[in-house]
Chain A
């Protein structure tokens, strides 16, 4: 077969989920790394500078288009697959095995994904829209103006409901990744007798650590906490 119809088969459809998923995981790493600045002393300046770089670098702006495409593909394909897969069993079981034979979150990827999607929409409205479209307050470092995204975060996370929503988003993300990472590896065919345990452990660690760091951000901002790293600077 030619590889033009590679993605139309049941395995191909999963490959799309897997590839876009892996791409989104890479995005998470970058996003997490940049935003982690807010957790530390001098977070405001460091973070605003980093955000400025991310917002103005041409390469990153181009990648951002890819990122949106990745999100949209992942979301649409995910829903399509869920709908397709559900249609394969017209007559449902009266009793199901539940958690005896599989993890609840592995069966609930669409639900978790939907929660993340709700979070994502709110999240974009909170930060992406003002920084790219409606505009933000500015701050000056070394004589140059920067968007004060940090201030925007402080505003948003002053509201307890926003903190709660973001925590829910992080929880959903964690469960989604807990299944998603090893599932992506399995779909890509990377798992084998030797690698499966490693992939699974690394995936699990990632799924807990990254969402945890994200979760700390609204909490820190809300309470005005910060970690003193002394002379170590995190970024830029």
Chain B
């Protein structure tokens, strides 16, 4: 084990980024044209990075497994994007966004990165507006903001319930513009299956063309992994079906450290599981907690319909436990509180694994506001209700419609049933201040890295981080590396390292195809998901984690001896694609449990049952665990490396939302 150096620039926190930018090495325009950069993934981080680097003059190759870059799962983010603009004059500032993010992350994030994130957040909004992102606006024509969990200011910019979509389309259009200009070459339906390292530096990738099944070699002076998070290790999550850890995991197997894998986020407001057939979970934006009230019946196993339960027999447990933040506590807190109620027997719905999210009060409140706004005088409750419904429809209409489509219930009339679901992974490839992994020339951006959210991410911060990394960080930090690469001429694709890497990828594919067992890839994925969800989900324990590690190891053996993959290697074969991904998820699942077992404390999304306060709150151990766990892969398991977290600015304290 050794301590990792995160290469944080010297100087006061507020000046680090400015100083870095002022002194960082640059590449002149003529040389940029000779330097090639590979970008894996085209979500917010990948698209924005590829577009920005293309604009600067680098030769970029971008890859995505979907049919077009615009499908990346950033598109599904609903609620919004944070920025310290203080347009609302409510006391926001770069410092406060930084502070909220550090605190929200339960003091497990790196101060310098988070400060930089808060600093560039304002530029992101400007950039997106300039691209034509149609953010919500007020009647005066200025940008509108909403509030979000874990903060007390209104700093979230949004485009109805489709903010991620609009931001991604902005970045996608910028990317397509570069494709048209010839600076970016786009490879859709291509998946990275191996990393090529030459003399200790990342120099290229092996990708599989998902249409023809052929393996291709691509050279790059640097490789950027913008491949997103690994939430699909749980099988059921709010991630897209294709979201996977393969690119990051291949890098990890080649020497990149994987940091804080056990820090996963369970989102409190998702549509509950309806049966065994379920293939994925659907998130209902956290913004719903702005106006909705969360409750369960006071009586265990109450079978009455929600509307028949009188007010005094309802337990608004978040408002009861956390009067200061109420329904707007951070995600980890809200999720655990829901689990606690359901485990204690107060859950609702046929599965008893759900709580109510109720809009009746908000409908009345908005209805009354409308009445006074339009001077309607004395009107019936029915009129008030209808007016209120109209307002709610305007704000959340698309989410309510989605809920109704999935459940067949009308959320304007009946409280919605919600339950927590896996949504985001704070862990990821370890990166330093420059977003460089432990492999030279290999960078990780967005959700694929671990750096900014600590043990828990605040709502509306994922979009912020993805775009910050792509638009405003990597264009500077990558130059610092590439400035020393201007003499490196493109390496031949026949170089032994390329041949070797392709052989490795091919061998793995052949091995998978040759098993021809009895069980489908999907069935293994489901079993893996259940193990991880049960033992490394919302609550973890030493005993459970040890059992999970054994179970995952056994599952891995079974997978590699009994999986059945139909079809051919040299043709389109979605089952083969999926098999490669699930094989990597299985290995990652084990590492998650190893990491969770190592961390004998509770913090953020990591809740160890052994470590909690008398009233059930997470009990952190700053003495022992104020570090980032960075795991190095080796054939027999993993070695732990640590990055010490030094808090110069913020004084860690017990996170309280009471």
Q: In the complex, A touching B, CB below 8 Å?
A: no
